[in-house]
Amino acid sequence: MQAVVYKGKGQIRVEERPVPVIQDPKDALVQVTMTTICSSDIHIRHGAVPGAVPGVILGHEFVGRVVETGSAVTNVKPGDRVAVNVETFCGECFFCKRGFVNNCTDPQGGWALGCRIDGGQAEYVRIPFADNGLTRIPDHVSDEQALFNGDLLSTGYWAAKLGEIKTGDTVTVIGAGPAGLCTMLCARLYAPSCILAIDTDPYRLSLAKEKGLADITLVPGKDPAEKVIRELTEGRGADVVIEAAGGKDTFQLAWKMARPNANVVIEAMYEESQTLPLPEMYGKNLVFKTGGVDGCYCQEIMDLTAEGKLDASFLITHRCGFADIMKAYEVFEKKEDHVIKYAITF
């Protein structure tokens, strides 16, 4: 089968690989029908993810059809259409039992797919702990509607939940890339009074406005973001700030825009260390919540998608077959042609 393989820092290429096989009774074998490229794949390509293993097949955001299951798998069966969770998790360890599945202590647990074990930018993929990591797709939900269930929508849903958004809150989302747009989409579920979106890309901001995800859009360096948020909130600042950009100065902007006693959620993955200027923020009494997504809400997200309350398919701006995936990588990384997300089919 054809697969995109990480060869080491700066190197990925399409290679011929054997079709994977069931290795454990809890495994399932999935035929991938649609996959995509994530910014995390770009981080791996740059060598910015220390846990990424050279030789691994990339891809952790995809949908497919079950072709085989291990003897212990009970929630899915061959023929089921499924969305795949970004994380594999045992469900039994200390962290899994508390919902912190990103920190699953099993050797194949946490963010393993496309990082430490072979992922879904391939024709077939083995999914460990399939009962936990696969979500059945209802017949009336398309592959494109389900594509982001296990990663982007899980990330946005998780970040909005961490923010503890309340009805009437003012929410600032820094970054209108795929993760930021999904975060705004999920934040709307909590009925905030206002969502501000901040990004350097006017096209992405216009998309956020067009889709009803943001009420106000701001461009750093052009718009006085801190001044706008204070004028909007009688000088207080945002009730919740979610940092989804991971830029050079976005962490600093996040805490500065937050009101005292606010929640600041760090959703972004940084390639450089960030500074926490405690003397400057003394007295603001901020709560910082950080880390990788705990992707354990996939069924809730699928239910909301089936009910028409969540639909992230608008993120798909480009489509291609797997034969053109390397070109798609270049377009996606360079953010050419106003790309947001690719839908790559087999």
pLDDT digits (tens, 9 = 90+) for 133-155: 999 999 999 999 999 999 999 99
pLDDT at 37 over 90: yes
Residue 194 neighbours by CB under 8 Å, 6+ apart: 170, 171, 215, 216, 232
> For position 272, what pLDDT does the model report?
86
If one counts every other C-beta atom within 10 angstroms of the C-beta of residue 323, the result is 11
> For position 50, what pLDDT does the model report?
87
pLDDT at 69 over 90: yes
User: How are beta strands 62-69 and 28-35 bridged, if at all?
Assistant: antiparallel
User: How confident is the prediction for the chain on average, in pLDDT?
Assistant: 96
Give residue-wise pLDDT tens across range 156-179: 999 999 999 999 999 999 999 999
Give residue-wise pLDDT tens across range 254-297: 999 999 999 999 999 887 899 999 999 999 999 999 988 999 99
